[in-house]
Amino acid sequence: MLSGIPLLPVQASTLAPQVDALYYFIVAVTAFFGILVAILVTAFALKYKDDTGLKVGAPITGSVPLEIGWSLIPFFVAVAIFAWSATIFFQYTRPPENTLEIYSTGKRWMWRFQHLDGQREINTLHVPVGRPVKITFTSEDVLHDLYIPAFRIKADAIPGRYSSIWFEATKTGEYHLFCAEYCGTRHSGMIGTVYVMEPNDYQAWLSNGGVTGGSMQARGEQLFQQLACTTCHLTDGKGRGPSLAGVFGSQVKLTSGQTVIADESYIRESILAPQTKLVDGYQPLMPTFQGLVNEDGVLSLIEYVKSLNGGAGAAQASAAPATAPAQGERR
Amino acid sequence: MAQQAEASTLGMWIFLVTEVMFFGGLFTAYLIYRIWYPEAWAEGSRELDIQLGAFNTAVLIGSSLTMALAVRAAQTNKQRATVGWLISTMVLGLVFLVVKFFEYKHKYDLGHIPGPNFHFEGVHASQVEIFLSLYFAMTGLHALHMLIGFGIMTAITIMAVRGRFSSEWSTPVELAGLYWHFVDIVWIFLFPLLYLVDRAGHFA
Amino acid sequence: MSTTAAAASPVTYLNEKTTVASWLLTKDHKRIGLMYMLTVTLAFVVGAVFAGLIRLELATPAGDLLSSDTYNRVFTAHGVAMVFFVLIPVVPAVLGNFVLPLMLGAKDVAFPKLNLLSWYVFILGMTVTFSAIVMGGVDTGWTFYPPFSTEGSDSNVMLAGVGIFITGFSSILTGLNFMVTIHRMRAPGLTWFRLPLFVWALYATSLIQVLGTPVVAITVLMVALERFAHLGFFDPRLGGDPVLFQHLFWFYSHPAVYIMILPPMGAISEVIACFSRKNIFGYSFVAFSSMAIAVFGFLVWAHHIFVAGISPYSAMVFSFLTYAVAVPSAVKTFNWTATLYRGAIWMRAPMIWVFGFLGLFLVGGLTGLFTASLGIDIHIHDTYFVVAHFHYIMVGGAIMGYFAGLHFWWPKMTGRMYNDTAAKTSAVLVFVGFNLTFFPQFILGYLGMPRRYHMYPPEFQVLNVMSTGGAAILAVGYLLPMIYLTYSFFKGEQAGSNPWMATGLEWTTQSPPLPHNFADQPVVTEGAYEYSKREMKVA
Ligand SMILES: [Cu+2]
Ligand SMILES: [Cu+2]
């Protein structure tokens, strides 16, 4: 009966075999120490058993060398495990360059995914095999956690900020996607399926995905116009708000004197709570867009702002911060 | 008796350590948000009435003095002085609470009570709401400690009136004194942390 | 009281006065200990019934027994009842209250009235919390994470929070009382390094209770204020940080694990020394490891939030410190094992519970090496692996340790023996049932089954059925002691003052002890476990 039970979930990402290797290592280490202690306890219990209760034990009170030995050996074993797991953790926190970007929002009780080309799906996620994928996500209400056991990854979805996970799938197939942070009534129903596809199939899926409203970047651009962001954020930097060209990923100097990196969370905050981190040299004029744009919209706006750094047909915005004056010249 | 007094004093000190940890949770939240939102903290702090705050600080320091004198009087068998200093301490405590009440009322009138009806004219309204939440929690908890202290003082004063204390045995007065000083010290931290953020240069 | 009272019916703390009022108004630490025992047992039964419901529901993948909302309330009630009303008080408030003054050669704790007050505060907190559970329940999980607890949930969060807040003060007052007692009430000659290790463990525990509990009290209060007074501490819409709650919560709740496990560890040291007839191996290392655990336990809280977006560098620091704090626990385990070496091991019931403890605690402690590992925790965080791990520590370790201590001191508490065979059977049943219940959950967790799931994919069913079957055996194992101990209380044979021929001052007075413990002030002239110098004879 037990032969049908697997001991590991499918290994379907580049990270999975590494996590499992460490897992086996710790299983071996703990089994060694566990069995060692179990054998000693059993052996002593059998050998020194006394049914009368009237004998006394040997007058031994301790041994400092032994104490030092069995403090240091576990400590060094622990340090070895720590070092190994830290290297895996660093891979988990550092996505490679040129990942395929996918955005997601968790909401009680569903996961919504948006692809760059504009495809949206709920509780399903289609990704190509053999290509690093990064999912950037947040929550619209309470805490959730995006968990894909076959990839050995998870991260909490926290309202008000972005989390991200990345993976490179190594095996086509269908895998579980769970919410792993308790979120209320239908927490256990907040599950879905990850479809890992051959690149060709993935391309086919993309083109049949029933896109409405264009790519995320296009939707972001549209929102950018609709919400009248263009009236202040002029591309030449002469508007009442700073130009957004080349902002993403750059260092931004604030009125408070601090410098922050303009990442996804910063842009989101600047849209929803614009006064919190004011760019040096600008007045606190921007109203909040809380309630005017939903989390999906914010993600589209971020994707649009990212596009202003160059790449996808944003020639006018190719100027990096360092060349900003030149951009002013070009007006 | 001496053994018991020593045990009680040790117990009181341990209790005060738990109190420090209790306020510590709020102080941690304060510290983190202050680092995150320095401007909102400055803005929120400027909404507080520095004069009333300073006045209350003086009142509490005064009450610590009268409390110390009450302990001294109890230890030196001066019953009437003990009662007198205890009552002065209570009066000063009451003055503090009344002033605090008017500060709260003013906040209420301005709509500065966090919640759905929170109303604040200023660029950092949301984070000022966090500041004011911490303000009400910290000062409210402090005021609650004052109220408890007031109750303790009442009991101690009744004991003093009945002549229960002497140079041999004045432990309750000493313990009440420790508690009262602790509550004062909490305020000594709260006043600059809440009222004096970014005040330098704003007196001109 | 005269020392010759050992005649027909000696005066004991049990028969001195027998009215209900004499119990409810008692200041006797022994009676208060027994009152805690009844209350904690009641809470344990409540928590266990909820556990049974969880296991029954999870026997099938579909949510067919309970609705999702009910299931969520059931596991919250299980966690709240077990953590706050069983695991935290069970050893300090029951066994600690009973034996601490006896071990110190004192008449009572330092503040007897405060001790009684702690019990009433506990009852009040328990009543408030349980009424929240009865009147519609709470569905946040025992961890109360915002924003779900502050605005997502429409259950009785406020009432439960207030109840836990109140209960916290009971814990603080007990810790304070014990600390002062240990500092001030030791018998002449009872120096710190002659103290029984149970006392060291209680001291370390008290330190955590005094330093940690106020932090969780204020944190729960902040959630309550945010929920009902709409103050914004953790509200992300204002720029507040829900993760800040988790930091504050685990600052207490990680050390709280040591409130649960240190006292049973102390009890284990007593029992193991007694039934091996030997000095504990490395007394001072065992004593200091308790203190080290108490102190370093405060530095590892963030290992509960590795996947909540904390910086990778702080995650590394917390992971490293977590490994460091594992070392003192390993040291204790090795010392217990070494104590058995060349002992004269008397296989009575308490010792069988000790072997059970060693086995389960070993698994619990070693699986901590997985959860502390950054690379693996990403995968197993919030899965059944973690559920299995902490049950091994908190139920396998703490409850087994409690039963070891209870079976050890029961003759002293009641003056009567229990059926040794029944007690050994129960220990074996608990050990087997426990492993069958929780070992499959390690595998379930690594396979990816998240915790707090009402329904689950069908491939997880076989392991879940094993777990449910094990829980049935476990239930029998826990039910048995209630029967034979109750029988023993009324009908058991007389125990005599020292049935185990144990060292320790508590065994020098009669069983059950006098109302004020000792007829004459005991004086201590040697260390705690000088068994090898003794001559054993049946008392
Ligand atoms: Cu969820
Ligand atoms: Cu922990």
C305 occurs within a structural domain:
yes
Instruction: Report the relative pairing of strands A192-197 and A251-253 from DSSP bridges.
Output: unpaired
Ligand 1 centre from C451 Cα, in Å? 12
| Average pLDDT rounded to a whole number, residues C359-387 | 95
| Average pLDDT rounded to a whole number, residues C154-170 | 93
B32 part of contact set with chain C, CB < 8 Å: yes
Sign for the CA dihedral angle at C247, C250, C252, C258 comes to: negative
> Cβ distance A251 to A309 under 8 Å?
no
pLDDT of residue A1: 42
- Read off the amino acid at residue C1: M
A43 occurs within a structural domain:
no
Same domain, A136 and A194: yes
Question: Starting from the edge strand earliest in sequence, which strands make up the sheet with A163-168, in order?
Answer: A120-122, A110-115, A100-107, A132-139, A163-168
Which of C432, C433, C396, C409 shows the shortest CA–CA distance to C485?
Answer: C409
Mutation for testing the A interface, residue in B43, B120, B121, B126 having most A CBs under 10 Å: B126
Q: Is the pLDDT of residue B4 over 90?
A: no
Domain span at residue B27? 2-203
B108 part of contact set with chain C, CB < 8 Å: no
Could you give phi then psi for residue A110, rounded to 5 degrees? -155, 160
Same domain, A323 and A227: yes
Q: Average pLDDT over chain B, rounded to whole?
A: 91
pLDDT of residue A213: 66
pLDDT of residue A331: 28
Ligand of minimum distance to the alpha carbon of A187: 1
Which of C388, C73, C232 shows the shortest CA–CA distance to A185?
Answer: C73
Ligand 1 centre from A18 Cα, in Å? 27
Same domain, A221 and A315: yes
Q: Is the pLDDT of residue C246 over 90?
A: yes
pLDDT of residue C417: 96
According to DSSP, the residues that pair with A177 across neighbouring strands are: A192
Same domain, A178 and A147: yes
State how far the Cα of C125 lies from the Cα of C83, in Å rounded to an integer.
13
> Cβ distance A242 to A279 under 8 Å?
yes
A176 occurs within a structural domain:
yes
pLDDT of residue B197: 87
A5 occurs within a structural domain:
no
pLDDT of residue A316: 33
Task: Quote the number of domains for chain B.
Answer: 1
pLDDT of residue A304: 85
Of A106-115, A207-216, B175-184, the least confident: A207-216
pLDDT of residue C310: 87
Structure-token pair, residue C160 = 């439960």
State how far the Cα of C412 lies from the Cα of C517, in Å rounded to an integer.
11
Q: Is the pLDDT of residue C47 over 50?
A: yes
DSSP assignment string, C120-152: HHHHHHHHHHHHHHHTT---S-TT--TTIIIII
B98/B3: higher pLDDT: B98
The CATH number for C444's domain is: 1.20.210.10
For B158-196, how does the pLDDT look when each residue is reduced to its tens digit (9 = 90+)?
A: 999 998 898 888 999 999 999 999 999 999 999 999 999
For A168-209, how does the pLDDT look when each residue is reduced to its tens digit (9 = 90+)?
A: 999 999 999 999 999 999 999 999 999 999 999 999 888 876
| Average pLDDT rounded to a whole number, residues A111-129 | 91
Q: Is the pLDDT of residue A73 over 90?
A: yes
pLDDT band at A53 (very low <50, low <70, confident <90, very high): confident
Q: What percent of chain C has pLDDT over 70?
A: 98
According to DSSP, the residues that pair with C311 across neighbouring strands are: none
According to DSSP, the residues that pair with A193 across neighbouring strands are: A124, A176
C148 occurs within a structural domain:
yes
> Which residue, of A207, A230, A248, is where some domain finishes?
A207
Of A277-291, C24-38, C148-162, C514-528, the least confident: A277-291
> Which residue, of A190, A207, A224, is where some domain finishes?
A207
With CB atoms and an 8 Å threshold, state whether A53 touches C454: no
Residue of A nearest to C447 (CA): A9
pLDDT of residue A322: 32
pLDDT band at C538 (very low <50, low <70, confident <90, very high): low
Ligand 2 centre from A80 Cα, in Å? 20
A90 occurs within a structural domain:
no
Domain span at residue C164? 20-527
Ligand 1 centre from A139 Cα, in Å? 9
A274/C349: higher pLDDT: C349
Distance to chain A for B129, nearest Cα, Å = 13
State how far the Cα of C13 lies from the Cα of C524, in Å rounded to an integer.
24
DSSP assignment string, A167-224: EEB-S-EEEEEEE-S--STTGGG--EEEEEE-HHHHHHHHHHS---S--HHHHHHHHH
Q: Is the pLDDT of residue B70 over 90?
A: yes
Same domain, A233 and A133: no
The CATH number for B121's domain is: 1.20.120.80
A319 occurs within a structural domain:
yes
Q: Average pLDDT over chain C, rounded to whole?
A: 93
Of A147-151, A268-272, C102-106, C156-160, the least confident: A268-272
pTM: 0.91
State how far the Cα of C451 lies from the Cα of C304, in Å rounded to an integer.
14
C69 part of contact set with chain A, CB < 8 Å: yes
State how far the Cα of B162 lies from the Cα of C311, in Å rounded to an integer.
61
pLDDT band at A268 (very low <50, low <70, confident <90, very high): confident
Domain span at residue A220? 216-330
Q: Is the pLDDT of residue C537 over 80?
A: no
With CB atoms and an 8 Å threshold, state whether A85 touches C68: no
Q: How many CB pairs under 8 A join A and B?
A: 13
A79 occurs within a structural domain:
no
Q: Is the pLDDT of residue A325 over 60?
A: no
Considering B117-121, C57-61, C311-315, the range whose residues carry the highest mean pLDDT is C57-61
Which of A64, A73, A23, A88 shows the shortest CA–CA distance to C326?
Answer: A73
pLDDT of residue A307: 83
| Average pLDDT rounded to a whole number, residues C93-106 | 96
Q: How many CB pairs under 8 A join B and C?
A: 98
> Cβ distance C146 to C245 under 8 Å?
yes
State how far the Cα of C156 lies from the Cα of C136, in Å rounded to an integer.
7
The CATH number for A256's domain is: 1.10.760.10
pLDDT band at C1 (very low <50, low <70, confident <90, very high): very low
| Average pLDDT rounded to a whole number, residues C269-282 | 95
> Which residue, of A207, A238, A260, is where some domain finishes?
A207
Task: Quote the number of domains for chain C.
Answer: 1
Which of B97, B112, B82, B92 shows the shortest CA–CA distance to B174?
Answer: B82
pLDDT band at A54 (very low <50, low <70, confident <90, very high): confident
pLDDT of residue C341: 95
For residue B32, CA distances in Å to B129, C218, C222, C249 come to: 15, 16, 15, 15
pLDDT of residue A12: 95
For C412-447, how does the pLDDT look when each residue is reduced to its tens digit (9 = 90+)?
A: 999 999 999 999 999 999 999 999 999 999 999 999
Task: Quote the number of domains for chain A.
Answer: 2
| Average pLDDT rounded to a whole number, residues C150-167 | 92
pLDDT band at A211 (very low <50, low <70, confident <90, very high): low
For A224-243, how does the pLDDT look when each residue is reduced to its tens digit (9 = 90+)?
A: 888 888 888 887 777 788 88
Same domain, A252 and A149: no
State how far the Cα of C258 lies from the Cα of C255, in Å rounded to an integer.
5
Q: How far from each other are the two terminal CA atoms of chain B, in whole angstroms?
A: 58
For residue A76, CA distances in Å to A18, C288, C368 come to: 21, 20, 16
Beta strands per DSSP E along chain B: none
Largest CA distance in chain A: 101
Three-state SS for C80-97 is HHHHHHHHHHHHHHHHHH
Share of chain C residues as helix, strand and coil, in percent rounded to the nearest 5: 70, 0, 30
A1 occurs within a structural domain:
no
B40 part of contact set with chain A, CB < 8 Å: yes
A273 part of contact set with chain B, CB < 8 Å: yes
